[in-house]
Each structure stands twice: as structure tokens, then as C-alpha cells.
Amino acid sequence: MRMLRLLTVIMLLFSVAPTITAQETITVDFYFPTATATITNPEAGESIEAVFNRYAAAFEAANPGVQINVVYTGSYTDTRNTIQTEIAGGGAGPDVAVMLTTDLFSFIEEGTILPVQDFIDTMPDGEAYVADFFPAFLLNSLDEEGVIWSIPYQRSTPVLYYNVEQFAEAGFDAPPRNRQELAEMAQALTLPDGQRWGVWLPTEGFPIWLFSAFVIADGQHFVEESPSEVYFNTPQTREALDYIISLSRDYGVMPGGTLSWGDGPSIFTSGKASMLFHTTGSLTRILNEAPFEVGVAFLPSGTAGEDGTGYGAPTGGGNLYLFANSTPEEQAAAWAWIQFLSSPEIQSDWGAATGYVAARRSAWELDPLASLVARRPQYAVARDQLAFAQKEFSAYRTIDIQGIINSTLSGIISGATTDIEGALTTAQAQIDSLLAEYR
């Protein structure tokens, strides 16, 4: 009997709840993930959620009648799964979400997102708005026809970290410019029996990201404009594989097998590796933890470009997406929220708070980012490298194809796969069979 009463109370609560919240205000459901493994901000001492709540409060104050419902949805993967499951199950899903830039074609295919292009076109200064973003960061927003679907938000790119003290001990006063220099300098920096490695190039788990820097610098990225074409079995891939394998096998400057991504910053800051390939997202943490002067440089160049010394890097991170399930009123409010989050002021604050590369040029002229760069010029290296950056790997069936490429690359690099030619051919055939229905 008491059970029944409890049940009645619960049911009543559920039936009353919507009427309590349903007011005249428009609520924008905003989902965001964090990649806490790389982004830390000990200086500000503010959690990512607290930062977003601060932004939401500022936005609500400026836009009466709009309420931002800030929802933390876990990792990038959790966020994607949450949204897909909600929508596939007939739920509303969010109005705005930060998702991986590479999720674009999955969501276009599923028909659940809206192109922000339609909203940009209604802006009086739409062209100027778009032109203020770094072009490399916009590449992952575009479909085949050049329509903009998402707005760059928390973006990153890999850079080369180096230990200035260890460099000076070995007689080097500048970072390596190309792969040959990197290998030779690493050799001079390596100490025997694993006491110190010359370079740490993480290849565990998600090697495709760092690896694509090599093929980009050699002039053939895994993807071009079309999301239904992938170029994996190429001379550039074989060349980059040869180089990475030679770092451990021939030069002896890295351990064999695949190398940990997550441990990379600690290995570097503890002095166990003189150089590190890692994301700019780790910059704040590395600068704070390293007991030595940290140098940041472009990734070593490859053969691309007219003079044969092309730099190259992929971009990474998350963009702001707009969802198709929202009502027109919600869409308008959601677009205003996206504009707010991508404003130079917020981008400057967000970049300084997290270490992500602010996506708009004008953000770099505003404080707090401008004064941060004046104090720590390392932050500007990633921004300058953007001139040579390409999009992050993204195509139809992105996750499956990433899986094939990751598994193939780590298999070959670790030595698990000895038939490199055969493995690349098989992988390309599997990718092509996945993409056949999209061509």
C-alpha cells in the first residue's frame, strides 16, 4: 500500500514536471564533451563545465527569453553515441552540440544536422564572419559542394615539442626542420639502454592523426574534397611507414612497438624523451609540468610544395553543430548561441582557458589570449603552422575507415604485420568496399 502511494507520487511528479519547466522561454539544449586527457587548465582552476555555465549566463543576460541548457555528455565518442541513440530512438536530441569535426559525414548521411551555411547567408556580414576563421579549420566543415555545415570551436593540431636544455647539451640551438635532421639529432640525443629516447612519436590507438601529418607533408593526404574517396595505399603512406619504422629499427631513437599517446607528455616532461609529437592541447600542461625550457616547433617537413620542403599537419578537435529536430525558434536561438561561442571574445577566452587553438584570427588580438602569447610565444607556433595544415581525416564511414587505417598502421609499425604491401592492399580494398555505395 505504501508502495502504491510512492508510485502515485512519482507518477504525479513526472506528469507535473513538464508544466513547471514549460514557460515562454526558448530552451537551447547544448551538449558538450571534453577530452580531459589532453586539456587541462590548472591556472584558471575552473572546470570545463563551469566555463560553459559562465558563457551561458553571459549569453542569457544578453538574450532575454533564451535559456541554454548546458549538458555534459562525456567523451567525444559518448557524445556522438548519445546523440545518435536519442535521435534514432525518436527523441529530440540537442539543438547545438560540440562534436568531432570528423563526425560531419555520419550526421549528414543520417540527415540529423542542418547546414549552418543557411544561417550565415542571412547575416549582413556573413562573408567577413567566415573569412575570419583560419581556412585550415574550416576545411572539416565543408561538404563536397563547399557548403558550411559546422563552425570551428575547440580546435587543435599536432606540433613538435623539444627539450631546449637537452638540445643545448647536445650542441643544438634550433629544432629539426626536416625528417633527416630529426632522425640525426634524435640519434645524438638518445642515451643507451632506454635511459633517454631521442624522440617519442605516439603510434598507439589512434596513429592516423599524427601519421597524416607525414602524408600531408609529402603531398597526398588520405582524403581530398570528396568524402567517398580515400587514398591510403599510396607511395606517401609507404614512405612515411618506412621512416617511422626506421626511427626505432635503424636509428634506434624510439622504442619498438607502438608508443603510448597518453604517457607522451609525462615521458617528455620527465626528460625521458628529448622530442615529442603531440597535440597543442597538451601545451598548457607541458609548459606547467616541465622543469626545463620547452621549445615548440613545426612538425618536420616532407617533400610537398614546389621547393620540395613542405610542412604539413592535420587539424583536430570539435566543431559546433546545429540539429534538424529543433523548431525554427529554437534554431534561431541555437544559431545565436553558436555565433556567441564563436565570437572573437569567447574564442580568446576559451583558447587561453583550455589551450585549444583559437579558431578566429581576430581572437588572437584580444586578451586574455594576446597577453598569454606575449608571455608564452609557444602558443603561437600552432597558429602559424595552420598555413600548412589540412583537414583531419573525414569521409563517409569515417569511424570504420579510421579503424581500418589505425589497425593497419599500428600493426605495421609495431611489427605485428610483416607483409606491408599486402596489408596496405587489403586495407585499401576494405575501405573501397565500404565506400562503394557512396560513389
Partner 1 sequence: MRNSSLASIERIKAAANAAQTGKPINLVPYLLVAPTLILVSLFTIYPAVGSVVSSLYRPPRNVRDPSTFVGLENYFDLFDPTHYIGSTFLQVISNTIIFALATVVVSVPLALGFALLLNRRIKRIGVYRFSLFYPALLPMIGAASIWAFLFADPLGLVNTILRTFGSRGQNWIGDPNIALFTVTTVNIWKQAGFYTIFYLAGLQNIPRDLYEAAELDGAGECQKLLYLTIPLLRRTTLFILIVSFTFGFQTVEHLQALGQGGPGDRSNLLLYFIFQSIGERRNWGYINAMTVVLVLVLMVFTVTNFLYFERRRDDETS
Q: Is 203 in the site for partner 1 (CB under 8 A)?
A: yes
Count Cβ neighbours within 10 Å for each residue of 14-32 and write b for 16 or more, e otherwise: eeeeeeeeeeeebebbbbb
Q: Is 415 in the site for partner 1 (CB under 8 A)?
A: yes
Q: How far is the CB of 42 from partner 1 (least distance, A)?
A: 21
- State how far the Cα of 382 lies from the Cα of 298, in Å rounded to an integer: 7
Q: Are residues 314 and 304 in contact, defined by beta-carbon separation less than 8 angstroms?
A: no
The residue among 59, 88, 53 whose CA lies nearest residue 72 is 53
Nearer to partner 1, 165 or 400 (CB): 400
Nearer to partner 1, 87 or 213 (CB): 87
Nearer to partner 1, 74 or 257 (CB): 257
> Total binding residues for partner 1 by CB under 8 A?
50
What 8-state DSSP symbol labels residue 290? Answer: -
Binding mask 155-194 for partner 1 (x = CB under 8 A): --------------------------------------xx
Residues in region 259-288 near partner 1 by CB under 8 A: 259-260, 263, 266-267, 270, 272
Nearer to partner 1, 259 or 304 (CB): 259
Take residue 372 and report the three cell numbers written for it.
598569454
Helix (H, G, I), strand (E, B) or coil at 286: helix
Helix (H, G, I), strand (E, B) or coil at 212: helix
Q: Are residues 379 and 372 in contact, defined by beta-carbon separation less than 8 angstroms?
A: yes
Applying CB under 8 A, among 53, 69, 84, 234 the residue interacting with partner 1 is: 84
Give Cβ neighbours of residue 391 (< 8 Å, ≥ 6 apart). Answer: 101, 136, 139, 140, 221, 223, 314, 315
Applying CB under 8 A, among 197, 277, 298, 388 the residue interacting with partner 1 is: 197
Nearer to partner 1, 79 or 343 (CB): 79
- State how far the Cα of 244 lies from the Cα of 203, in Å rounded to an integer: 9
Count Cβ neighbours within 10 Å for each residue of 33-49 and write b for 16 or more, e otherwise: bbbeebbbbeeeeeebe
Nearer to partner 1, 104 or 136 (CB): 104
Applying CB under 8 A, among 413, 424, 428, 435 the residue interacting with partner 1 is: 413
Helix (H, G, I), strand (E, B) or coil at 376: coil
Nearer to partner 1, 235 or 415 (CB): 415
Q: Is 404 in the site for partner 1 (CB under 8 A)?
A: yes
Q: How far is the CB of 279 from partner 1 (least distance, A)?
A: 18
The footprint of partner 1 (CB under 8 A) covers 77, 80-81, 84, 87-88, 106, 109-112, 193-195, 197, 203-205, 255-260, 263, 266-267, 270, 272, 397, 399-400, 403-404, 407-408, 410-417, 426, 429-431, 433-434
